[in-house]
Structure 1
Amino acid sequence: MRFHLIDRIEEWEPEKFIVAHKLTSRAEDYWPAEKPVMPPGLVLETVCQAATWLLMLGSDFRKRAALLSVDAAVYTADVVPGDVLDVEASITSITGEAAVIDGTVLVGGATVLTASGIMCALLDAGTLEDPEETRRMARELCGTEEG
């Protein structure tokens, strides 16, 4: 991943939902110089990354999501440096080959993005990244020794 947009996983339930957070910082290199507003595509990417973690955790790191399509995404407010993104994603359907996710991003309790019908292919995670490195990162994000 070029940008790691999830800092903490608060709660998750396999094949159901995940709650995660991202603290934005001006030091990150995705802020446009002229107006420091997080690009809407990266706000959507926070939902996609949270969903990927949900799918990896729920499959014991055997599966990873690859984005195929998004039915709808509505961006309702700007995200600026220092904002904490509260990310919620839920699986609406899942098979062995694909999953569909809906998600929301909030800042200070106000919705900044809603997305529905995020379709992902489920790929063999071991062919994409080092499984042990992924497990280590999951332990850090979940704040546990287990991941």
Structure 2
Amino acid sequence: MRFHLIDRIETISYGKYITAVKCVTLADDVFNEHFPGYPVFPGSLVLEGLAQLGGSFFELMMKNSDLPVKRSILSIINKFKFRKPAVPGDKLFYRADLVAMREEYGVVKVQAEIESEICAEGELTFTFLDIADNDLHESRMTLYKICTKNTKIVQ
């Protein structure tokens, strides 16, 4: 099973930040077991959504520059805190701010909000690896094309 935990990338400012949204619905498969009678969107999936956004940010920046596109692999989770649970009906607003980007790795400060209240935040480090699989590369570029269809690009 593959979880796509970003519904839409809202804005991107290359070299600065990226924002996205995830709508939590009772139709999400995770609610079959988590928890019957009291559905809570797992914090680990909020973290995964933020990691997907951070990794996408680095790959989109590489694609938008003269750099070869490498795969962003989450390698360090630092100072991460969960402050409020997400439940069906919530809209998670994700944001990743660039802290550093080097040839081998990148760091972003991330946060998730529900109705302007922070529900999770921390810092994520990604290692960049060469993509040796053309099918995987094409699949990811297709996914980015879908997620960024109406993305606002800001300076």
Tell me if both proteins adopt one fold, taking TM over 0.5 as the criterion.
yes
Kept in 1: contact 2:55–2:74 (CA 8 A): no
Match of 1:93 in 2: 100
- Aligned residue for 2:144, secondary structure, equals helix
Kept in 2: contact 1:14–1:55 (CA 8 A): no
**Would you say 1:133 and 2:139 are equivalent positions?**
yes
Return the index of the structure with the highest Cα Rg.
2
**Would you say 1:43 and 2:46 are equivalent positions?**
yes
* Residue-by-residue CA offset, 1:51-103 (whole Å, 9 max, x unaligned): 11111111117122111111111111110012111000012011111111110
- Could you tell me which amino acid in structure 1 is paired with residue 21 of structure 2? H
Provide the C-alpha distance between the structure 1 equivalents of 2:35 and 2:8, rounded to a whole number of angstroms: 27
Match of 2:127 in 1: 121
Match of 2:60 in 1: 57
Unaligned 5+ residue runs, structure 1? Answer: none
Provide the C-alpha distance between the structure 2 equivalents of 1:128 and 1:8, rounded to a whole number of angstroms: 24
Kept in 2: contact 1:93–1:100 (CA 8 A): yes
Cα 1:83–1:125, aligned 2, differ >3 Å: closer, same or farther? farther
Runs of 4+ in 1 over 3 A off after TM superposition: 125-129
CA RMSD of aligned residues (A): 1.9
**Would you say 1:84 and 2:91 are equivalent positions?**
yes
Please report the TM-score for the alignment, with normalisation by the length of structure 1: 0.88
How far the C-alpha of 1:4 sits from its partner, in A, is 0.4
Cα 1:115–1:9, aligned 2, differ >3 Å: closer, same or farther? same
How far the C-alpha of 1:129 sits from its partner, in A, is 5.4
Cα 1:84–1:126, aligned 2, differ >3 Å: closer, same or farther? farther
Unaligned 5+ residue runs, structure 2? Answer: 151-155
Match of 1:17 in 2: 17
Please report the TM-score for the alignment, with normalisation by the length of structure 2: 0.84
- Aligned residues, how many? 143
How far the C-alpha of 1:16 sits from its partner, in A, is 2.2
Between the two proteins, what is the percent identity of the paired residues? Answer: 27
Cα 1:128–1:49, aligned 2, differ >3 Å: closer, same or farther? farther
